[in-house]
């Protein structure tokens, strides 16, 4: 049938690992630190450090080479947006956008059914959308971004920042291929000329003080005990997080939560998504992470970019040289039992998984704009009359 969907059978993606059974005391382990300039100065050294970081933890800090001031201006424009009145921010509400783009108020997104405490703007690669009810459903994710008329510099600045990070992403992707013993262009066909990126502008409010009597604030304080965003793995290929110096991002590694340094605009936090874990036959890791709200008086600002192959790309394990036997295995056996939700089947294409994630995180938009579709428990999206 025209709407059939293939589920990937990859054992390491199907074995759940409970985060609740492990210590909630943040570890003093440190994340690997890489400098992108070394890729040009000493490619062999950079590729080896990248291999180790991707294999052992799936997270690393990256000293970038974006043009001077671009990252700083992006954080500044992001902060400025969230300082505007709610009435202005609502003018680009995601509730009016069938492609899941625009502004979301606090409490409108969830992780695994638990409400996240953050306000955000979602953007993605701008493409011409198809009219009507195109199939496959992920074709509905194509479209334009709702930019705020009250802050025209946000569009110009964000596009400049995205262009810089995408250039960085290509270089890292090629280096990752080399680290697996493959040619640097091994993944070129998957990404093609139109890789699908998604971006969030995020503001995490601080935990309200105990003496705050505002009813809305008290509600934020009570239910999720400081959750900015709940523990999850990313479904994309590679994520780049630009953040301020407030802190709150944590990584789950070797049975413990690790605090990610609040590095500011000169360093990006990079983490691998589930696509990379599949493509590498489980050699690289997509690592669980979360954001804990802080008790300072300032909100935490971050700008993650999620780098994907093109929407139509099919994700499956690559044929590694020697079946990957020549790659050094440095993780313990327990680290290979990686955490996944039981209902988090990896679907065949990038577009299917992107739609699945958006529909789960934003059920209101899915129900409002896609009434002809139904989201099944395993993540498949089918016509509403089908089972």
Nearest 5°: phi and psi at 310? -65, 155
Nearest residue to 231 via CA among 332, 359, 110: 110
Nearest residue to 259 via CA among 10, 50, 59: 59
d(CA 107, CA 229): 10
Q: What is the pLDDT of residues 145-163, one digit of tens each?
A: 999 999 999 999 999 999 9
Classify strands 381-383 and 373-375 as parallel, antiparallel or unpaired.
antiparallel
Note the Cα 62 to chain centre separation in Å: 16
* 279 touches 317 (CB < 8 A): yes
d(CA 110, CA 333): 32
Classify strands 59-63 and 102-104 as parallel, antiparallel or unpaired.
unpaired
* 136 touches 113 (CB < 8 A): no
Q: 78-82, 96-100, 220-224, 229-233: which range is least confident on average? A: 220-224
Would you call 215 helix, strand, or coil by DSSP? helix
Residue 268 makes CB contacts below 8 A (sequence gap 6+) with 61, 62, 64, 71, 165, 168, 240, 241, 242
Nearest residue to 336 via CA among 48, 51, 15: 15
* 77 touches 244 (CB < 8 A): no
d(CA 386, CA 190): 30
Enumerate domains of the chain plus CATH numbers: 33-208+224-332+340-383 (2.60.120.330)
Percent over 90 (pLDDT), the chain: 61
Would you call 233 helix, strand, or coil by DSSP? coil
Q: What is the pLDDT of residues 95-138, one digit of tens each?
A: 999 999 999 998 777 666 677 789 999 999 999 877 778 889 99
Q: What is the pLDDT of residues 252-290, one digit of tens each?
A: 988 889 999 998 999 999 999 999 999 999 999 999 989
Q: Choose between 215 and 291: higher pLDDT.
A: 291
What integer pLDDT is reported at residue 227 of this predicted model?
72
Mean pLDDT, residues 344-358 taken together: 85
């Amino acid at each position: 049938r025209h709407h059939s969907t293939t589920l990937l059978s990859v054992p390491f993606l199907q074995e759940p690992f409970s985060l609740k059974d492990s210590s909630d005391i943040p570890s003093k382990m440190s994340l690997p630190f890489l400098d992108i300039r070394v890729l040009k100065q000493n490619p062999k050294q950079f590729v080896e450090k990248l291999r180790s970081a991707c294999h052992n933890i799936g997270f690393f800090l990256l000293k970038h080479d974006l043009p001077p001031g671009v990252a700083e201006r992006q954080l500044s424009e992001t902060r400025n947006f969230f300082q505007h009145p709610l009435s202005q921010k609502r003018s680009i509400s995601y509730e009016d956008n069938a492609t899941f783009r625009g502004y979301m108020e606090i409490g409108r997104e969830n992780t695994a059914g638990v409400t996240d405490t953050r306000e955000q703007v979602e953007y993605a690669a701008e493409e011409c959308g198809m009219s009507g009810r195109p199939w496959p459903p992920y074709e509905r994710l194509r479209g334009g971004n709702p930019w705020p008329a009250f802050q025209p510099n946000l569009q110009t600045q964000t596009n400049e920042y995205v262009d810089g990070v995408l250039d960085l992403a290509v270089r890292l992707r090629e280096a990752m291929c080399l680290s697996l013993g493959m040619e640097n262009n091994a993944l070129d066909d998957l990404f093609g000329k139109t890789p699908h990126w998604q971006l969030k502008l995020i503001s995490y409010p601080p935990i309200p003080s105990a003496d705050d009597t505002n009813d809305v604030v008290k509600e934020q304080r009570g239910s999720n005990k400081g959750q900015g965003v709940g523990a999850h793995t990313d479904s994309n290929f590679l994520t780049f997080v630009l953040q301020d110096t407030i802190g709150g991002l944590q990584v789950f590694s070797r049975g413990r939560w690790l605090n990610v340094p609040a590095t500011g605009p000169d360093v990006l936090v990079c983490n691998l998504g589930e696509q990379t874990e599949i493509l590498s036959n489980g050699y690289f890791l997509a690592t669980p992470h979360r954001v804990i709200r802080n008790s300072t008086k300032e909100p935490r600002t971050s700008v993650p970019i999620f780098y994907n192959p093109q929407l139509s790309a099919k994700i499956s394990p690559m044929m590694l040289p020697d079946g990957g036997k020549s790659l050094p295995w440095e993780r313990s056996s327990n680290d290979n039992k990686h955490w996944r939700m039981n209902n988090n089947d990896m679907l065949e294409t990038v577009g299917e998984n992107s739609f699945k994630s958006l529909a789960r995180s934003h059920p209101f938009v899915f129900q409002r704009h896609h009434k002809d579709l139904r989201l099944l428990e395993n993540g498949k999206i089918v016509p509403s009359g089908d089972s």
